[in-house]
Chain A
Amino acid sequence: MKWNQFFNTYKETSTMNEERLYHGDGKVHYQPLSDAYLKEEPYIADSQLVEAVNTAIFLRRPLLVEGDPGCGKTRLAYAVAYELAFPLKPCYIRSTSRATDLLYTYDALNRLYDLEEYRICDSKDKPKERTSYVHFHELGEAIRLSINNIPSVVLIDEIDKADVDFPNDLLLLLDEWKFKLNETDELYDALQAKTVDERKSCLPLVIITSNREKELPAAFLRRCLYYYIEFPDPKTLDHIVKRHFPPQDKMPQQKLPLFDEAVKKFLELRNKLIRWRKVPSTSELIDWLRLLKRHEEQLSPQELADRSLHELPYLETLVKTQSDLNALSQA
């Protein structure tokens, strides 16, 4: 791997805080940190994506990932957290999301009710402290972990769904890594009066995904590293399939011919239409293979090879729109 040189150099220079690097092979390489994401993630990344993630780790800049739906943008964050054995803080963005929603919410209404109850009922128990009504959310949790010198992976998923002001509101936060609880006047500062370079091994690694439904502001883009996930080459695709469907001990060879044929058919299908409304991606392939595996007795590799593209079994998992289906049957 081309990153090896950097990896070796960096390994030697790391001192107290071990700098962890992403390998892209879906295996854990480090001692898990507290609250680390430990659910196995069979994600295979090509060398260029590995390089991009490691540059983001080195610079501690947010990594903005784009690509066709189903190419693995969101799963990348899970895979990075799993391999680095970091805690994962996923933020799923909605159209109503605001930047402060990623940090914390203050349940003012509940506090109001509690105070009212205390006042009217003349309760002997004192009302709860203000801080009890603060609920930290993913990015806020990640900053609090950083204060305790624990890095994490923060996923900001589908940022283009949010209001146009959302990315701008995140700018200062991602630059300064601090926020203030206005209700309690508490300050959480991940940098702790140091520079990003001095604290980068403890800062969260932010992975942002976008489907480019909205153009992101220039000021926000400037602060991000950008990577477009292309559809994997056949060799990487083969690794992905093997990682998702490892051969079984009893019959290690039996499933491979069907899968080989299925991957060939899938690649043929992808290249059949020039203008897809929704081009089938890696995620669709995995779903399709899962179905084929489930009903493997009903279909031999030769039968699959003999079928025309619009007669493939479980085609609905690959082709998602009627216009694509029509185009495929006419092609």
Chain B
Amino acid sequence: MSPYEAFLFPVFDYLRRYGTPLGISDYLLAIKTLRSDDFVLSDDAHFKRFCSLLWTKSKEDQALLDKVFELEVEPELKRKAAIKTEPLPKEMPSVHESGKSKDKPSSKSIQLDQMVYKEQSSQSQIKKFDNRDMSSLHDSFRKTSFHLIPRLPLSKRVMTTAFRHLRHRKRTGPPQDLDVEQTIQSIGHTGFLLKPVLVPRRRNVMELLLLIDCKGSMAPFSIVIQALKDSIVRGGFLVGSQPIIFTIALMRNLSIQMRV
């Protein structure tokens, strides 16, 4: 088991809680890759880059990953590294030597016993850490996590997904797709091919109207309003550059859809 495996769940859970689109299969893929003999993580930074590559899907997600590493993972990794690299005393005798002086315990052998005990306890700490229950790690993480990244009540990604439902597809524009059925019917009627029947492509002709009060007392919500506008523009469901006019009624409908 890779020593990094214990950190996967808190990181995964944190990203999921803040809206990163991740599923069980993504978690399992990370475990499978870490356990693979062909994949070697060179250092802690590589582990972070691996999580970023696999689980983040935007720069915003990467900021979340940075935060969870800064708060939870990096302190634990440093602590673990400190336990591993704790310096040993220079005049530490060998185990063979200590066996010789077993009958007559000297101050040196006492020192050795203390050292061996210390080393054993360090190893047990490492073992304890490695086999740590993931839920307890997760609990400690929840207790200690505290960050000030401004987060929206709904992420832009969720808003965009909600707007995707606004679809009304209609054939519009120049005829470019072959209408096979109509063409066959035409041949059936005339007995030979006069000309193929072409139809325009289906396009979304949905028009969106929203009215947003963004001045005065609503000014504190400017970040949310901007995110809403961005999610409409980046939703990509509006055809061409049709104007967006805002109405209150549709806004309510949309908020219902988002909750659903």
A291 in the interface (beta carbon within 8 A) = no
Residues of B within 8 A of A226 (CB): 52-53, 56-58, 61
Known: A5-B40, A9-B40, A164-B236. A217 touches B57 (CB 8 A): no
Q: Cβ of A224 and Cβ of B57 under 8 Å apart?
A: yes
The answer to whether A227 has its CB under 8 Å from any CB of chain B is: yes
| Residue in chain B with minimal CB distance to A5 | B40
A10: chain B residues within 8 A (beta carbon): 38
**Are B164 and A164 in contact (CB-based, < 8 A)?**
yes
B23, B39, B237: the one within 8 Å of A222 (CB): B23
Name A112's closest neighbour in chain B (CB-CB): B193
Closest CB in chain A relative to B48 CB, distance in Å = 11
A25 within 8 A of B: no
Question: What are the residues of chain A within 8 A of B178 when measuring CB–CB?
Answer: 108-109
A109 to B62, CA, bound (A): 49
Q: Is B29 a contact partner of A59 (Cβ separation < 8 A)?
A: yes
Say yes or no: A227 contacts B234, CB within 8 Å.
no
Q: Cβ of B160: which chain A residues have Cβ within 8 Å of it?
A: 215
Give CA–CA (A10, B33) in the complex, Å.
13
User: What does DSSP make chain B's interface, helix, strand, loop or mixed?
Assistant: helix
B49 at the interface (CB under 8 A from A): yes
A309 to chain B, nearest CB (A): 28
| Min CB gap B35→A, angstroms | 13
**Cβ-defined contact, A13 with B235, below 8 A:** no
Min Cβ gap A292→B in Å is 33
A218 and B20 alpha carbons, distance in the complex (Å): 8
Stretch from A48-56, A241-249, A310-318 forming part of the interface with B: A48-56
| B interface list, Cβ under 8 A from A | 21-23, 25-26, 29, 33, 37-40, 42-43, 46, 49-50, 52-54, 56-59, 61-62, 156-157, 160-161, 164, 178, 180, 183, 192-193, 196, 201, 231, 234-237
Closest Cβ of chain A to B39, distance in Å, is 6
Q: Are A222 and B26 neighbours in the complex by a CB distance under 8 Å?
A: yes
With a cutoff of 8 Å between Cβ atoms, the chain A residues found around residue B43 in the complex are 2
**A297 interface residue, CB < 8 Å from B?**
no
Count chain B CB atoms within 10 A of each CB in A13, A51, A164 and give the residue with the most: A164
CB-defined A-B contacts under 8 Å, sample of 28: A3-B42, A6-B38, A9-B37, A10-B38, A13-B38, A51-B49, A59-B29, A59-B33, A66-B58, A108-B180, A109-B178, A112-B183, A112-B196, A113-B193, A116-B193, A119-B192, A212-B58, A213-B236, A214-B234, A214-B236, A215-B160, A215-B231, A215-B236, A217-B161, A224-B57, A226-B56, A227-B53, A228-B59
In chain A, residues 198-232, which have Cβ atoms closer than 8 Å to a Cβ of chain B?
A: 212-215, 217-219, 221-222, 224-228
Would A164 and B237 count as touching, CB distance under 8 A?
yes
Residue on B nearest A7 in the bound complex, by CB: B40
In the complex, the answer to whether B53 meets A225 with C-beta atoms within 8 Å is: yes
A215 touching B157 in the complex, CB below 8 Å, given contacts A2-B43, A113-B193 = yes
Cβ-closest chain B residue relative to A55: B53
Q: Does A193 contact B (CB under 8 A)?
A: no
Q: Which residue of B lies closest to A119 (CB)?
A: B192
A96 within 8 A of B: yes
Contact in complex: A218, B21 (CB < 8 Å): yes
Are A218 and B157 in contact, CB atoms less than 8 angstroms apart?
yes
- Chain B, residue nearest A214 (CB): B236
Contact of B46 among A2, A219, A227 (CB under 8 A): A2
The 10 closest A-B pairs by CB, nearest first: A218-B21, A214-B236, A215-B160, A221-B57, A2-B42, A116-B193, A164-B236, A215-B234, A6-B40, A225-B53
Question: Would you call A116 and B234 a contact (CB within 8 A)?
Answer: no
Bound CA span A52–B178, Å: 43
6 new A-B contacts at CB < 8 Å, known A59-B29, A225-B54: A5-B40, A9-B37, A55-B54, A58-B39, A164-B164, A215-B160
